A and B are shown apart, each in its own frame.
Chain A
Amino acid sequence: MSAMDEAAKTLQVDIWRGGAQGAFQSFTVPHEVSQTVLDVVTYVQRRLDPTLSYRFSCRVGMCGTCAMMVNGRPRWTCRTHVDRIADDGRIAIAPLRNFPVIKDLAVDMTAFFDKWRDAGARFQPRDGAADSFANVDPNSPARRAASDAIECIGCGICHAACDVVSWNPDYLGPAALNRVWTLVNDERDADPAAHLAPVAGDAGCHACHSQQGCAVHCPNSLSPTASIAGLKRQTLAALFRGQL
């Protein structure tokens, strides 16, 4: 099929409207070449219904604000091509799972980021760190472990994919724990080992089932599962050292 024919088709798009209580509303949207799901949502808002609420910023996969459920899976909509996911020309777009809905496709991320705080996912520089550069060996095991986990854009997709989050609302979740893992491996941090205690609680790393729903869906191909497994190992070592 030529690109022209492809573009001439239309898409049937069901978009969630309302808050936690709401319903899907159907729209017909022209199908374009190289169209993203975010393009579809933007078309609806600009041409069909200006009251549609959604969130995005960079449109190039850097800011992490555009995540939504697309045909039942959490995805970054600005980098998700319609052609890859449309199910016979149909797309269902809903607000991100495991997040309270504000309106339509916009969710409240407050509790999600509060968990980063509760997990202690905050870099604490060493005294005098501003006076000189830290010499971090790029090939050290700790630096490699941090590198594997560091490219997180805070999109919340892993949090939406995680069943343990939906069962236990207190669970810190894959994103916050993944971030803590980078700090445990950050030799510039004032006390990397001190990051272990806040994540060793019953809502912390040990609640994870290692089933990798987070890793499968992370748009940056990170594996929070691997990071969490690292936290489990390190907390055990800290316990035996009497540091927990």
Chain B
Amino acid sequence: MSGRLEVWLFAAQRLSAMILAPLVLLHLATMIYAVQDGLSAAEILGRTRGSVFWGGLYALFIAAASVHGAIGLRAVLREWTPLRGAGVVAMAFCVAILALGWRAVAAIT
């Protein structure tokens, strides 16, 4: 059973990486483009408010990042600490990132 879990986590890690790679690039490109005219809250909100595209994009970004980060955190905790419940900690981390991230997305769209 633990074997199946490891394989699912492996699949989730690869899949989230595949989603993250283009999104990170797009995020960076947008940032570089956005700061050209000076960075202001109004300018950012002007772009994101009411935009299904940007809202959806960042919601997906956060979902992928929370999964990817949590699986990595689990591995680090298991190898570097004697902690027993690394899976539980990683799960809590994933939920926290999701909640905080989606809250932020909701606030700017």
Contacts and interface: CB of A to CB of B under 8 A. Distances in A.
Interface of A: 164, 167-168, 197, 200-202, 204, 206, 232, 235-236, 238-239, 244
B79 A232 contact: no
24 contacts: A167-B79, A167-B80, A168-B78, A200-B6, A200-B7, A201-B2, A201-B6, A202-B2, A202-B3, A202-B5, A202-B6, A202-B78, A204-B3, A206-B6, A206-B7, A235-B7, A236-B7, A236-B10, A236-B11, A238-B7, A239-B4, A239-B7, A239-B8, A244-B7
B91 to A, nearest CB: 15
Tell me the dominant secondary structure on chain A's binding face: helix
A231 to B, nearest CB: 10
A177 to B, nearest CB: 13
Interface residues of B, number: 13
Interface of B: 2-11, 78-80
Contacts of B80: 167
A201 B8 CA distance: 11
A72 to B, nearest CB: 22
Nearest to A166: B79
Nearest to A197: B3
Given A197-B3, A200-B4, 9 more contacts: A164-B79, A200-B3, A201-B2, A201-B6, A204-B6, A206-B6, A235-B7, A236-B10, A244-B3
